[in-house]
Amino acid sequence: MLNRRLCICLSGVLLGFASQAPQAQEQRFNFDQTVAGGIPTGWTIAATNPDGPLAEWQVKADPAATSSPHVLAIIRIRNNSGDVFNLCWTREVVFQDGAIEVNVRADSGKEDQGGGLIWRAQDADNYYVARYNPLENNLRLYFVKAGQRTQLASADVSGVKSGEWFRLKIVHQGDRIKAYLNGKKYLEVTDRTFLKAGGIGLWSKADAASSFDDMVITAP
Query: Is 19 within the bounds of a domain?
Result: no
Q: Is the pLDDT of residue 8 over 70?
A: no
pTM above 0.85, yes or no: yes
Looking at the chain, the whole-number percentage of residues with pLDDT higher than 70 is 90
What band does 23 get if pLDDT is binned at 50, 70 and 90?
Answer: confident
Stretch (H or E) spanning 185: strand 184-190
Query: Is 86 within the bounds of a domain?
Result: yes
Q: What is the pLDDT of residue 16?
A: 36
Q: What is the pLDDT of residue 205?
A: 97
Q: What is the pLDDT of residue 11?
A: 35
Average per-residue pLDDT for the chain: 91
pLDDT tens digits along 55-109: 999 999 999 999 999 999 999 998 888 899 999 999 999 999 999 999 999 999 9
Stretch (H or E) spanning 16: helix 2-19
Look at residues 153, 148, 72 and name the one whose alpha carbon lies nearest to residue 107.
72
Q: Which residues span the domain enclosing 136?
A: 25-219
| CATH code of residue 67 | 2.60.120.560
Query: Is 8 within the bounds of a domain?
Result: no
Cα R_g (the chain), whole angstroms: 20
Query: Is 151 within the bounds of a domain?
Result: yes
pLDDT tens digits along 126-159: 999 999 999 999 999 999 999 999 999 999 998 8
Number of domains in the chain: 1
